[in-house]
């Protein structure tokens, strides 16, 4: 039975030059799990919001949206979950948040009590039912947002990049909860996502959106086959699909790690050698931590326990680790935001205490925080960039030139006159990066740079960071994102319980891990232990290619 | 220390109001002493060992209040000694002590009130009278910590770029102003998403109800009646002039008529009610545990 039908839907924002959505046709059957993907700005959010009457944007709309062949749409029929877990929560207590929708519907206390109780136990919220919403982790917040939509018993669940702000473990939990809802309750789900590794294999159908049109609408396996490797969306595909695409065979497209592994082991023996490792840069020491200990308060437990590490100029150094392991704290200590109570922090050969006033942040060190929004304080990106140029003592006349040079380098020239908050996650990040780079740092620190940005923006970021390290800058980043770390870093380190456990090249580092490693490595590790990225696996396969 | 906190908010509110009214407006040594003892025992039961940390503060305050009155008030007919030519009278000293007992007593009761009457209970009680208010307050309580956290993040991000991060006052003021302006944009942005989330869940429809987790049990009813009864007795006492007590020019005798005894006993019981409940629960628990 068709639950939702979209016929010839076009939409144009006021004063826009072209349609945001153009002649969209698709239908959703009851019980289906549909994945909607596309690069940022392709119209995903506009489409999803048009499907929810209360959130529909203002503009020129043509075509029809039919629910069960009617154009009716009441709030309890379609539930909507947005990207930011934080800002969707309305009330201060978990139980109140769960009840909020039903209160609006005018449900009596007894009904609310029963439904809230039911949903809380389905989602495993009992343990924090009476907590304050502010004390929850990001993953818990997003689960709460989902549960408080589910208490209204919707027929259709619409989610707009719900895992964008979550770490990979919380994101995987969230996706598996969605799968559970779909399987056990038969609920129809329409999900827009840019992190596809987990969600791609479990979707019934995938819609690929490009410039406001649906270019592909098919089963995941077919999408893998049909999507051209030159398409920007291709980077977002699961590793199995990307590896298979790189090889000339007639096998069907694998989607999961298990299928990918079977595919590789069926076709290859793994007797070729992994190409030699790239050499490590041998520049001067840019930053060094010597036995650093840190805690937030006198009586609080230690967050860092004797951390030592050394990063050279021209090196990209990744610090990986779980939540609360001390990653961000280590970065803040290097950035001089937090002071170690024992041990030494050396920046450019001098201890950090020797830098007085703002000297540490002039031509020296710059930190891009986890949330790039926090970097901006002005009305336009240009004003923000001008502010820091002025602080750097660049004469006013040269500001324009100076700003445009960096804008061209990062590809943000067209964004300079926009308000920073109006940009997409990836754009915001590039602009924030421009701002911190204007202080001309030798050491660039990045906190979770891949959070909330799509695969295409990730590729872009990788290029930018590579360029910086080739110019002799040291780049230190902390991340959850093992795929990104494997591709970009010269060395990776794992931090656990406030200690750095190992620091090595990504090949050696990931080869030693069995769980904490890239999907490509998990597929290929039986054949080539050192192959970490999709490209390396493809390279190994090709070296052995004759057998195909 | 859970027994009293788990009673229905309406009973708790009535109880606190009764005790606070008597301890604030009745200046009678017996009633005030009862209120103070009740307050001490209640706070001790609520906070356990932590309560002991504040003893120093309360003792100092007690002495200060008690000493201040006789230093400035020279009424009364029984001079004890002369200070700079002014008499320090017995009556003024005793009145000072009563004032100190009252102040400490009220402070302790207010502290207990703060521990017990959390925001959600307050909202529940007054949200019914003004339905919108309860939601607005709840949203405010949600927004404030989020705002403070974001504002700290912006501040730190700006510091790490070395912008106005100096220690001089101009730098600090400038930095605060910049962060504040950025926070206005953030608040608006945040509010847009929150309102989308509210609309998506049907906010704005007619006939909104107010949900709460509280239930009114029969035992709450009994307690409410008891509480009102024990409160009415001192009020009646006041109406009959039993609780009148004056210090000047001469300290009155404490009345010991049967009616007065009833008033003392009633308020004493009221003041000790939460402590009795806590002790009762502790005993019940110990019995259960020994049976296991």
* Nearest residue, CB atoms, A87 vs list B160, B181, B194: B194
Residues A473 and A526 both lie in one domain:
no
Taken in order A133, A135, A137, A138, is the CA torsion positive or negative?
positive
Q: How many CB pairs under 8 A join A and B?
A: 159
Mean pLDDT over the full length of chain A: 89
Residue percentage of chain A with pLDDT more than 90 = 52
- Nearest Cα residue to A519 out of A474, A476, A482: A482
Given a cut of 70, whether residue B190 has pLDDT beyond it is yes
Give B221 to chain A, closest Cα distance, Å.
20
Q: Interior CA angle at B143 toward B139 and B146, to 5°? A: 150
Residues A105 and A180 both lie in one domain:
yes
Residue A299 counted as domain residue? no
In this predicted structure, what is the pLDDT of residue A486? 92
Residues A165 and A47 both lie in one domain:
yes
Residue B225 counted as domain residue? yes
User: For residue A248, what are its two tokens?
Assistant: 């000339």
Q: Do A75 and B202 touch (CB under 8 A)?
A: yes
- Nearest Cα residue to B36 out of B108, B114, B99: B108
Over residues B16-31, mean pLDDT: 92
Given a cut of 80, whether residue A70 has pLDDT beyond it is no
Strands (E), chain B: 79-83, 86-89
Q: Among residues 402-431 of chain A, which lie with CB inside 8 Å of chain B?
A: 419, 421
Taken in order B109, B110, B115, B120, is the CA torsion positive or negative?
positive
Spell out the residues 6+ positions from residue B114 whose beta carbon is closer than 8 angstroms to its own: none
Gap between the Cα atoms of A253 and B237, Å rounded: 89
User: For residue B123, what are its two tokens?
Assistant: 């909202």
Residues B9 and B89 both lie in one domain:
yes
In this predicted structure, what is the pLDDT of residue A350? 87
User: For residue B119, what are its two tokens?
Assistant: 């925001």
Q: Do B200 and A90 touch (CB under 8 A)?
A: no
Gap between the Cα atoms of A416 and A411, Å rounded: 10
Q: What ipTM was reported for this prediction? A: 0.85
Residue A375 counted as domain residue? yes
Long-range contacts of B116-120 (CB under 8 A, 24+ apart): B116/B4, B116/B5, B116/B12, B116/B16, B116/B46, B117/B9, B117/B12, B117/B13, B117/B16, B119/A92, B120/A92, B120/A93, B120/A96, B120/B212
Which residues span the domain enclosing B62? 4-123+219-291
Helix count and strand count (H, E) for chain A: 17, 19
Gap between the Cα atoms of A229 and A237, Å rounded: 10
Gap between the Cα atoms of B161 and A361, Å rounded: 6
Residue B149 counted as domain residue? yes
Tens-digit pLDDT profile for residues A207-223: 999 999 999 999 999 99
**Cross-strand pairs, A444:** A366, A475
* Nearest residue, CB atoms, A104 vs list B162, B178, B203: B203
Residue A305 counted as domain residue? no
Helix count and strand count (H, E) for chain B: 9, 2
Gap between the Cα atoms of A389 and A523, Å rounded: 48
Tens-digit pLDDT profile for residues A322-349: 888 889 999 999 998 899 999 999 998 8
**Cross-strand pairs, A290:** A344
- Nearest Cα residue to A190 out of A368, A289, A49: A49
DSSP character string of B6-35: GS-HHHHHHHHHHHHHHHHH---HHHHHHH
Residue B92 counted as domain residue? yes
Q: Do A367 and B154 touch (CB under 8 A)?
A: no
In this predicted structure, what is the pLDDT of residue A272? 72
Give the other-Cβ count within 10 Å of A275's Cβ.
12
In this predicted structure, what is the pLDDT of residue A76? 65
Gap between the Cα atoms of B190 and B177, Å rounded: 20
Helices within A358-398 (DSSP H only): 381-391
Residue B88 counted as domain residue? yes
- Structurally, how many domains does chain A consist of? 3
Given a cut of 90, whether residue A456 has pLDDT beyond it is no
Contact between residue B178 and residue B186 where contact means Cβ atoms under 8 Å apart? no
Gap between the Cα atoms of A392 and A440, Å rounded: 9
- Structurally, how many domains does chain B consist of? 2
Largest Cα–Cα separation, chain A: 71
SS3 label, residue A32: coil
Cα torsion through B159, B162, B164, B167, rounded to 10: 80
Residue A295 counted as domain residue? no
Taken in order A202, A205, A210, A215, is the CA torsion positive or negative?
positive
- Nearest Cα residue to A75 out of B201, B25, B243: B201
* Nearest residue, CB atoms, A112 vs list B135, B200, B211: B211
Residues A16 and A148 both lie in one domain:
yes
Residues B138 and B115 both lie in one domain:
no
Over residues A441-470, mean pLDDT: 90
Higher local confidence (pLDDT), A285 or A358: A285
Over residues A421-431, mean pLDDT: 87
Spell out the residues 6+ positions from residue A507 whose beta carbon is closer than 8 angstroms to its own: A274, A277, A530, A532, A536
Give B115 to chain A, closest Cα distance, Å.
16
Contact between residue A434 and residue A407 where contact means Cβ atoms under 8 Å apart? yes
SS3 label, residue A14: coil
- Nearest Cα residue to A447 out of A400, A496, A481, A408: A481
In this predicted structure, what is the pLDDT of residue A75? 55
Give A388 to chain B, closest Cα distance, Å.
7
User: For residue B118, what are its two tokens?
Assistant: 């959390």
Over residues B205-221, mean pLDDT: 87
In this predicted structure, what is the pLDDT of residue B60? 93
**Cross-strand pairs, A24:** A9
User: For residue B117, what are its two tokens?
Assistant: 């009457």
Gap between the Cα atoms of A147 and A98, Å rounded: 7
Last residue of a domain, one of B200, B234, B253: B200
Q: Read off the DSSP letter of residue A27.
A: E
Residue A346 counted as domain residue? no
Mean pLDDT over the full length of chain B: 88
Given a cut of 90, whether residue A120 has pLDDT beyond it is yes
- Nearest Cα residue to A175 out of A200, A156, A153: A200
Residues B151 and B282 both lie in one domain:
no
CATH code of the domain containing A143: 3.40.50.300
Which residues span the domain enclosing A320? 314-339+357-518
A456 part of contact set with chain B, CB < 8 Å: no
In this predicted structure, what is the pLDDT of residue A208? 94
Length of chain A: 548
């Amino acid at each position: 039975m068709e639950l939702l039908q979209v016929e010839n839907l076009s939409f144009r924002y006021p004063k826009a030059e072209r349609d945001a959505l153009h002649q969209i046709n698709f239908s959703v059957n009851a019980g289906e799990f549909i994945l909607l993907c596309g690069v940022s700005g392709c119209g995903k959010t506009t489409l999803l919001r048009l499907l929810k009457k209360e959130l529909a944007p203002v503009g020129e709309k043509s075509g029809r949206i039919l629910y069960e062949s009617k154009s009716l749409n009441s709030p309890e029929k379609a539930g909507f979950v947005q990207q930011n877990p934080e800002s969707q929560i309305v009330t201060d207590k978990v139980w109140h948040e769960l009840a909020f929708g039903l209160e609006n519907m005018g449900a009596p206390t007894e009904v609310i009590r029963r439904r809230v109780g039911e949903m809380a136990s389905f989602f495993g919220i009992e343990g924090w039912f009476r907590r304050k919403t502010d004390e929850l982790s990001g993953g818990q917040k997003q689960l709460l947002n989902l549960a408080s939509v589910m208490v209204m018993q919707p027929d259709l669940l619409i989610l707009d990049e719900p895992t964008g702000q979550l770490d990979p473990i919380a994101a995987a939990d969230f996706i598996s909860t969605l799968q559970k809802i779909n399987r056990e309750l038969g609920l129809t789900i329409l999900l827009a996502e840019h992190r596809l590794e987990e969600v791609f294999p479990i979707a019934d159908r995938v819609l690929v959106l490009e410039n406001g049109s649906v270019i592909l609408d098919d089963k995941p396996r077919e999408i893998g086959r049909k999507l051209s490797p030159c398409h920007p969306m291709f980077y977002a595909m699961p590793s199995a699909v990307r590896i298979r695409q790189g090889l000339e065979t007639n096998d069907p497209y694998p989607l999961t790690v298990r299928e990918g592994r079977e595919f590789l082991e069926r076709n290859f023996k793994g007797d070729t050698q992994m190409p030699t490792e790239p050499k490590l840069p041998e520049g001067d020491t840019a930053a060094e931590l010597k036995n650093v200990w840190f805690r937030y308060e006198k009586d609080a437990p230690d967050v860092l326990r004797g951390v030592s590490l050394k990063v050279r100029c021209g090196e990209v150094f990744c610090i990986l680790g779980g939540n609360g392991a001390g990653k961000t704290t280590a970065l803040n200590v290097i950035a001089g935001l937090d002071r170690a109570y024992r041990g030494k922090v050396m920046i450019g050969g001098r201890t950090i205490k020797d830098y007085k006033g703002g000297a540490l942040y002039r031509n020296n060190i710059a930190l891009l925080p986890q949330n790039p929004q926090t970097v901006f304080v002005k009305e336009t990106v240009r004003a923000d960039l001008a502010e820091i140029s002025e602080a750097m003592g660049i004469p006013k006349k040269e500001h324009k030139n100076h700003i445009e040079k960096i804008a061209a380098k990062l590809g943000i020239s067209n964004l300079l006159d926009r308000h920073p908050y109006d940009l997409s996650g990836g754009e915001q990040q590039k602009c924030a990066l421009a701002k911190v780079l204007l202080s001309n740092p030798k050491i660039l620190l990045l906190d979770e740079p891949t959070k909330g940005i799509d695969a295409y923006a990730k590729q872009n970021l990788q290029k930018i960071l590579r360029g910086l390290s080739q110019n002799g800058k040291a780049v230190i980043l902390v991340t959850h994102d093992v795929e990104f770390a494997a591709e970009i870093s010269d060395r990776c380190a794992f931090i656990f319980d406030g200690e750095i456990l190992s620091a090595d090249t990504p090949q050696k580092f990931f080869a030693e891990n069995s769980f904490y490693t890239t999907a490509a490595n998990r597929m290929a590790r039986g054949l080539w232990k050192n192959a970490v990225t999709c490209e390396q696996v493809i390279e190994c396969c090709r070296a052995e290619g004759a057998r195909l | 220390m859970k027994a009293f906190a788990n009673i229905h908010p309406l009973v708790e509110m009535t109880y606190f109001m009764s005790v606070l009214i008597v301890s604030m407006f009745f200046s009678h040594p017996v009633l005030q002493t009862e209120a103070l003892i009740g307050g001490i025992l209640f706070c001790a039961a609520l906070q356990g060992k932590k309560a002991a940390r504040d003893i120093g503060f309360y003792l100092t305050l007690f002495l200060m209040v008690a000493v201040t009155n006789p230093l400035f008030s020279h009424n009364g007919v029984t001079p004890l000694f002369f200070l700079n030519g002014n008499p320090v009278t017995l009556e003024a000293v005793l009145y000072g002590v009563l004032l100190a007992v009252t102040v400490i007593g009220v402070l302790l009761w207010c502290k207990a009130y703060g521990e017990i009457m959390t925001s959600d209970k307050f909202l529940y009680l007054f949200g019914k009278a003004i339905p919108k208010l309860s939601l607005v307050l709840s949203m405010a309580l949600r927004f404030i910590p989020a705002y403070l956290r974001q504002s700290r993040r912006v501040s730190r991000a700006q510091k790490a770029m070395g912008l106005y991060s100096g220690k001089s006052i101009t730098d600090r003021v400038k930095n605060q102003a910049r962060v504040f302006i950025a926070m206005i944009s953030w608040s608006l942005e945040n509010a847009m998403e929150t309102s989308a989330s509210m609309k998506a869940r049907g906010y704005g429809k007619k006939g909104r109800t107010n949900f709460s987790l509280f239930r009114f049990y029969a035992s709450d009813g009994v307690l409410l009646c008891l509480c009102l009864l024990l409160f009415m007795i001192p009020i009646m006492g006041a109406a009959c002039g039993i609780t009148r007590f004056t210090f000047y020019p001469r300290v009155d005798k404490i009345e010991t008529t049967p009616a007065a005894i009833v008033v003392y006993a009633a308020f004493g019981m009221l003041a000790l009610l939460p402590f009795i409940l806590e002790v009762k629960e502790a005993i019940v628990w110990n019995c259960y545990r020994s049976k296991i």
